[in-house]
Structure 1
Amino acid sequence: MNHRLALLSLLLLPLMACSRQEPTAEPAAPASDGPAAEAAPAAEAPAADEAVAETDTADSAEAPAATDDVEAEADAPAPVPVPAVDPNAGAALVEGSDYIEIRNGQPFAPRDGKVEVVEIFGYVCPSCAQFQPLVRAWKAKLPADVRFTYVPAMFGGTWDDYARAFYTAEAMGLVDKTHDAMYQAIHIDRTLKGERGRDSVQDIAAFYGKHGADPKQFASTMSSFAINAKTNRAKQFAMRSQISGTPSLVIDGKYLVKGTSYQNMLEIADQLIARERAAGQ
């Protein structure tokens, strides 16, 4: 399936970054073995009279040459000072390789004076499981004027089941307790199948039952009108944002972050956040 190919490519992001080879210097040209490499025969020494004549001529030519050099130096413009480079300044972002500007993009929710960062994710996605520890630490350090929002991807089948589970957990105030635990259950403990099969609604509800939810209430809420409305909105946002896989970061609904690794994605996101903050001031 297309989304699986997209996920596989994202999973390989860190590997691709590690496998890129730095350009190597060209090897020095070997010495030639041909006739040009042979030592040239020594030139015959000039006769004594000729040597004296040449010395006199050279001495007489040195004085004006030195004068010309002094005048040339006097006429030369003063060197232009080179401005110091700030080592902390980030490299300028390049559209197309660092990010994609989303045509007619819109934020997921009203900004309310804040910069919006959305991670489009899937619990069953191995790449998202790898990204989560990094993004958790990163979002904990975001300033107060930045709002981070998780939006589950709706790719069909078990993806949709877990998207409904996320919004049900959100409605019950359980996301902070269960977000990392769900990745753990699927990808490490393997007590849930994820993409290795399809967990039933009852299986998913039982997981949340271990974290304070009533399993029956959880299962019934997953299919409620309110949760369907939220998942439809999430699907529309992902389509509007032109994502090709997960995890994806979207800044203010305007920029889809690219990058060469998960860490690089976060660095690019930092620069785009700074850009949006400056534009809002």
Structure 2
Amino acid sequence: MTLGLVALAARAETYVEGQHYKTLPAPIPVRDASKIEVVELFWYGCPHCYKFDPLVNVWKKSLPEDVSFFRSPAVFNKVWKAHAQAFYAAEALDVSEKMHQPLFDALARDHQSLNSEDDLAKFFAQYDVEEAQFKKAYNSFSVKSKVEQAASRALSARATGVPALVVNGKYRIDAIRGGTYEDMLKVADFLIEKERQAKGS
């Protein structure tokens, strides 16, 4: 038995399907089948996501090369959709790193009303992104397409709340089943190893 299998066997009783994570009824296509994919479903206005984010930032830095991680904004209503568009507009403008924390601070911590295109354009302008430039990206076909893909991803994951993690398009971990935020990441590690063994690597 390899060390990986020993680790998996040792933790198999700790994390139980249906209690700590949910197996999805149908797999969600992943972006790169050569990697084990972890997707975080989140919303900038969610206080729970806000508390989870620093832990995720530390955790993702230590992920091995065979694991890919990315965030996917959940789109459950019009306000969340506007914030998802802002997320992908920041990505299109190559200012994701600059805007991620300010958006979280403004929406989850400070409860600012940034629910319209104009509100968000003015907010981005505070961080040296011209309003016209933001609006062009915000309304672009590529950004709107990514928002639709994010909405479809959350729907396929059967997510009913955030934060949630989707591991390799097969499993969903949420705060209720996963326990604490730290436990959610431990369950993700467990499922990553489970997928690694399934791949035979």
TM-score range, shorter chain: 0.7 to 0.9
Match 2:163 to one of 218, 242, 247? 247
1:152 matched to 2:73: yes
Where in structure 2 are the equivalents of 1:202-217 lying within 5 Å?
Answer: 202-217=118-133
Q: CA–CA distance in 2 between the matches of 1:275 and 1:212?
A: 44
Number of aligned residue pairs? 190
Post-superposition offset of 1:245: 0.4
After alignment, is 170-179 or 237-246 more displaced?
170-179
Q: Do the aligned partners of 1:131 and 1:247 also contact (CA within 8 Å) in 2?
A: yes
Q: Distance in 2 between matches of 1:123 and 1:105?
A: 26
Q: 2:105 aligns with which of 157, 177, 184?
A: 184
TM-score by length of 2: 0.87
Q: Distance in 2 between matches of 1:188 and 1:103?
A: 35
Displacement of 1:277 after TM fit?
1.3
Residue 131, structure 1, aligned to residue 47, structure 2: no
Q: Give the one of 142, 145, 148 matched to 1:226.
A: 142
Q: CA deviation at 1:224?
A: 2.0
Q: Distance in 1 between matches of 2:20 and 2:29?
A: 20
Indicate if the aligned counterparts of 1:106 and 1:253 stay in contact, CA closer than 8 A. yes
One of 19, 24, 27 as aligned partner of 1:105: 27
Question: Would you say the 8 A contact 1:115–1:147 is kept in 2?
Answer: yes
Give the corresponding residue for 1:162: 83
Give matches, 1:19-58, under 5 Å. none
Question: Which of 251, 258, 261 pairs up with 2:180?
Answer: 261
TM value normalised by structure 1: 0.63
Q: Which one-letter code corresponds to 1:114 in the other structure? A: K
- Residue 3 of structure 2 is matched in structure 1 by none
- Structure 1: how far apart are the matches of 2:172 and 2:154? 10
Q: Deviations over 1:177-222 (max 9, x none)?
A: 22122111223344x32xxxx5331221222223342221112321
SS in 2 for 1:116: strand
Shift of 1:233: 0.7
Is this contact kept in 2: 1:102–1:254, CA < 8 A?
yes
Aligned counterpart, 1:271: 190
| SS of structure 2 residue aligned to 1:143 | coil
CA distance in 1: counterparts of 2:45 and 2:145, whole angstroms: 21
Q: Alignment partner of 1:181: what SS?
A: helix
1:174 and 1:252 map into 2 onto residues whose CA distance is 27
**Counterpart Cα distance in 1 of 2:61 and 2:172:** 21
Higher relative contact order (CA 8 A, sep 6+): 2
- Please give the secondary structure, in 1, of the residue aligned with 2:11: coil
CA–CA distance in structure 1, aligned partners of residues 22 and 141 of structure 2: 34
SS in 2 for 1:211: coil
Which structure 2 residue ranges, 5 or more long, are not aligned?
Answer: 1-5
Could you list the runs of 4 or more consecutive aligned residues of structure 1 that deviate by over 4 angstroms after TM superposition? Answer: none
Confirm or deny: 8 A CA contact 2:121 2:131 kept in the other structure.
yes
Query: What percentage of residue pairs aligned between the two structures are identical?
Result: 38
Q: Contact 2:83–2:115 (CA<8 Å) still a contact in 1?
A: no
Partner AA of 2:90 in structure 1: A
CA distance in 2 between counterparts of 1:107 and 1:274 reads 19
Paired with 2:126 and 2:67, the residues of 1 have a C-alpha distance of 32
Give the structure with higher Rg (CA): 1
Deviations 1:102-150, CA, capped at 9 Å, x for gaps? 1111234233x11100001001111111111111111111112111110
